[in-house]
Amino acid sequence: MSEPAIIRPDKQTFLAEENPFEAMMERFDHAAKLLNLDRGLYKVLRNPEKQIIVSIPILRDSGEVEVFTGYRVLYNTSRGPAKGGIRFDLNVTLEEVKALAAWMTWKCALVNIPFGGSKGGVVCDPSTMSMGELEKVTRRYTSSIIEILGPDSDVPAPDVNTNERVMAWIMDTYSMHKRHTVTAVVTGKPVEMGGSLGRREATGRGCMIVTREALAKLGMSFKGTRIAVQGFGNVGSVAADLMAQAGATIVAVSDKSTALYNPKGLDVQELLKWVKERRQLGGYTKAETISHEQVLTVDCEVLIPAATENVITRKNAPHIKAKIICEGANGPTSAAADKILEDKGVFVIPDILANAGGVTVSYFEWVQDRGGYFWDEDTVNRRLEAILVRSFGEVMAMAEKHKVANRIASYIVAVDRVAGMHRLRGMYA
């Protein structure tokens, strides 16, 4: 047997909480140790394949030239083309993009779809940009990384502050360079351009499916279950809507503008209509306004953090009352908070399983584009459910086998699959 990997000494807690890549790697290290991963594979899997930094100069509507910074990280492509979103946000950093690319690698392996992991981002504030300026940034960013893009190499998707329109611009830019239409270069496109039915709702639907499985495992159901949703964007709003339809009571929701609470239940359909008209929850008066922090600690059975990274930390984890946490966002729980939640007996559905619905239906979209044959929405949803139910069962079995928390069990399944592919392929030198 190969000599076990030398696992890094523990980092200081605050470092892991502040650095998303180190937080992710702390979980990877735990899984690697339990798998007795050999030194060489450990080194390979701990380092991204490619890290690209580009400058994105554009001419703003005012006539001023501005230069933005863009990133794209391909973490691992041993199992197939890299897959990962593109976000436009002022807080984008290389460390964050690296962490998210690694998460995508493990996520795709966990649900056993033939993709590796990547991620990208541009440091900008879309809310201050006109549609024309946003298109310029998107197209210039795409052309700057075009050498690595492609249906067989790297396939982007929407993420924070990007959407179907941005994916359409990316697809068009890539296609213009290739001199023919290439629909499979991105996923999350408009349906008219080769997007998949069910893709927009897929991540939220996935959260609903795995939460249903977790409730069943604990002898509960959606009927009468109180749920708090932190982040009422695409993922959180769809999850809240589907769970409310299944009989759950949504007691709290939040977005950047406000946080709302009603112990008797919020009218999700009314909230969806409100947000569609006003683009935010702010101003809604048929509920109590609470602090954003309180959404995480309200009295409920299920908490869905569906906003950004590191919102559950060692500071607020002791005050969380939920029995189940379904991580709709990537990396919402710090490594330090994991231990606290485990000691409290909270059933955590980790991000690489909980929000894998999006990449699973992105895989379906990629398959449909390449085959030129498109499925009806029922087929998409049925196949999504089959994959997530199977993956949930595999994580539960691994957790019981190794007597570890669900998060570490999910990493064991994922890392073992990626490592297994490297063993089969060998090393090109």
* CATH number, span 48-181: 3.40.50.10860
Q: How many residues does the chain have?
A: 429
Instruction: Compute the average pLDDT of residues 376-394.
Output: 98
Which pLDDT score is estimated for 18?
60
Q: How far apart are CA 22 and CA 29, in angstroms?
A: 10
Strand 82-88 to 50-59 pairing:
unpaired
Decide which of 262 and 5 is more confident. Answer: 262
Instruction: Compute the average pLDDT of residues 28-47.
Output: 93
Please classify residue 112 by burial: count the beta carbons closer than 10 Å to its beta carbon, then call 0-12 exposed, 13-18 middle and 19+ buried. Answer: middle
- H-type alpha helices, 35-187: 39-45, 94-110, 131-144, 164-178
Res. 2 pLDDT band, cuts 50 70 90: very low
Which pLDDT score is estimated for 287?
85
Average model confidence (pLDDT) for the chain?
93
Which pLDDT score is estimated for 1?
37
Which pLDDT score is estimated for 17?
53
**Does residue 5 register a pLDDT over 70?**
no
Provide, rounded to the nearest whole percent, the portion of the chain with pLDDT above 70: 96
Q: 202-354: same fold as 48-181?
A: yes
Instruction: Compute the average pLDDT of residues 46-50.
Output: 95
**Does residue 8 register a pLDDT over 70?**
no
**Does residue 332 register a pLDDT over 60?**
yes
Which pLDDT score is estimated for 364?
98
- The domains of the chain are located at 48-181, 202-354
Q: Which contiguous run of DSSP H or E holds residue 276?
A: helix 268-278
Res. 3 pLDDT band, cuts 50 70 90: very low
Q: What is the pLDDT of residues 159-173, one digit of tens each?
A: 889 999 999 999 999
Of the ranges 10-19, 201-210, 298-307, 385-394, which one carries the lowest mean pLDDT score?
10-19
Are 334 and 407 spatial neighbours (Cβ–Cβ below 8 Å)? Answer: no
339 as an active site residue: the answer is no
Decide which of 27 and 190 is more confident. Answer: 190
- Both tokens of 356, joined, read 């894998």
Res. 14 pLDDT band, cuts 50 70 90: very low
- Nearest alpha-carbon partner for 230 in 247, 207, 213: 207
Res. 16 pLDDT band, cuts 50 70 90: very low
Decide which of 206 and 8 is more confident. Answer: 206
Q: What is the pLDDT of residues 209-249, one digit of tens each?
A: 999 999 999 999 999 999 999 999 889 999 999 999 999 99
Res. 283 pLDDT band, cuts 50 70 90: confident
CATH homologous superfamily of 202-354 equals NAD(P)-binding Rossmann-like Domain (3.40.50.720)
Instruction: Compute the average pLDDT of residues 123-146.
Output: 97
Instruction: Compute the average pLDDT of residues 324-351.
Output: 93
Which pLDDT score is estimated for 284?
85
Of the ranges 18-32, 223-237, 250-264, which one carries the lowest mean pLDDT score?
18-32
Task: Indicate which residue of 83, 107, 119, 189 is catalytic.
Answer: 119
- Both tokens of 412, joined, read 């064991």
